[in-house]
Amino acid sequence: MVEHRAVDVNGVRLHIAEEGEGPLVVLLHGFPECWYSWRHQFGPLAARGFHVVAPDQRGYGRSERPEAVDAYTILHLVGDVVGLIHALGEERAFVVGHDWGAPVAWHTALLRPDVVRGVAGLSVPPPFRGGSRPLEAMNKLFDGQFYWNYFEKPGVAEAEFERDVRTSLRRFLYAASGDNPANVTPPQPLVPRGGGFLERMPEPETLPSWLTEADVDVFAEEYAANGFTGGLNWYRNLDRNWELTAPWAGATVQRPALYIAGDRDLVTAFPGTPELVENLPRLLPDIREPLILPGCGHWTQQERPDEVNAALLGFLDELL
């Protein structure tokens, strides 16, 4: 059974869900999600002999939400993971992340390889620091319409999403999934000028088989109570993260690594990402061949739990 408690780490109190005993595996969710996005991974990993822990990361769910925007930099987020590992009485752990959780996992392995036994990223590939600030670059490339730039404006996305939290999440989860026909050839996630992020996201009559109305209720309850600002603040630090990671320009993840993504995931169509994914086996010294799941969209471990669990277990078992 999954159990819940709070842990104080790095100056914030994090809510964690956990199951099992054995080597520690930390599962890091993305936006707009929470610990519950890993619901299909707890049982299989715990049954194989792992201590599985999924926190609500800072700003999300039942974890603390600092008010300052600059309290959500990648250094804070990596610090939370390192602090959590140590607070749980461990020196090292396997770290797995999806969506925004993936950059946190990759950077934890990059900045603190001594605490990472192995790292897996779902959807978002390993970080290679570009030559310019990402928010600036996307603003120029897409004339201000890329969703990162929409999210960086304080209060704007919050007002849209919080108008009807459940409907917002229902549309977002369906729209970015492999079940949305528009994602057969993943488009760039652009926001119409003068419109909103959800404007081009259809309201599904019925949900896909991997997502129930009860699942949406869980996510909606968390966001109705706690809002979206904490998660959106992660996007608002993208340029700041670029500045802070300057000392690691050109550095690569040296720990054993695994990358999993769907071929209908919008992230895999971001500028430069297809070329990066294709070259990962050449760019990283200890990465396995990327696993690309046909027909899968953005919500990798929710849409394809069996394939993801099999890949993760194979990777973890190999490193024990």
| Residues known to be catalytic | 99, 298
Q: What are phi and psi of 186, to 5 degrees?
A: -55, 125
CA 136 to centroid of chain Cα atoms: 22
Residue 1 exposed, middle or buried by CB count within 10 Å (0-12, 13-18, 19+): exposed
Question: 221 CB contacts (<8 Å, ≥6 apart)?
Answer: none
Write out the two tokens for 174: 């369906």
Sheet holding 291-293, edge to edge: 3-9, 12-19, 51-55, 24-28, 93-98, 116-122, 257-262, 291-293
CA distance 129 to 134: 9
Half-sphere exposure of 197 (CA within 13 A, CB side): 24
Copy the structure tokens of residue 254.
């040296």
Distance CA 24, CA 7 (A): 15
- Greatest CA separation for the chain: 52
The Cα–Cα gap between 280 and 130 comes to: 16
Total residue length of the chain: 320
Closest CA to 188 of 269, 274, 299, 275: 269
Contacts of 150 (CB under 8 A, 6+ apart): 156, 157, 191, 197
